Each structure stands twice: as C-alpha cells, then as structure tokens.
Amino acid sequence: MQKIYESITASSKVLANRQAFVDEYAIVDDVKKPLRLSVGNKGDSVLFDHCQLYKNKHDSYVLINSPYAPNVEELYKMDFEETVPLYAEDAQTFIKPFGTMKEANAFARNLR
C-alpha cells in the first residue's frame, strides 16, 4: 500500500506511528476536501489543529487532530480518543471515527 503521509516531515517514531495507524484503521486515502472545522480557540490555544480526515477500505472515515492545546477535555466530551502521536512527538493526537462522510460533515457543522 502507498504511504499516504509521504509529504510530511516527522521523526521516525511518528512515521512508524502513522504506518501503524494506516494498517490498524485500513486507511486507503486521505480526503482531498477537508472538513471545515471551527478553530475552537480556548484562550491562546487551538482545539482543532493539524486535522486530517482519512477514508478506510470500509468506506468510513477517521479524523485525526493533533492540537497544541493544554486543555483538551472538550475533545473527550466530543468522543475523541487519545492515541499515539501522529503529527509530532510533543503533540497529543486524538482520533474520531465516522461511519459516513455525511456524519463527518454534520460534526463539523455542529462546531460552528
């Protein structure tokens, strides 16, 4: 399978984490038209940062988000799960699966 993250610059640990993510979630492609997420400012931090939406072989989707935000409690309330770093070793990464693109778009709309 083609590596869908070839354009990023990251440590070998993060690249290995990304390959494991691709394998575990059966990722086949990144979504070229990303979700329009509200910035979600919490003070000086950004709750949604470095977001990427991926499609898997089952035609469902996975959103990853790696914010540099000290307070990420809101993400847990939105059913995001923390996972290994997928953006940078010093950034937490969160995952939220969606059954359809329609669900992903509805989530993004509700943030506004």
Percent of the chain with pLDDT over 90: 43
What is the torsional sign of CA 81, 27, 90, 69?
negative
pLDDT digits (tens, 9 = 90+) for 31-74: 876 666 655 554 445 788 778 899 999 999 999 998 877 788 98
**Integer Cα distance of 2 and 22 in angstroms:** 10
Q: Which CATH number fits domain 12-111: 3.10.20, 2.30.130, 3.30.70, 3.40.630?
A: 3.30.70
- pTM: predicted TM-score of the whole model, two decimal places: 0.81
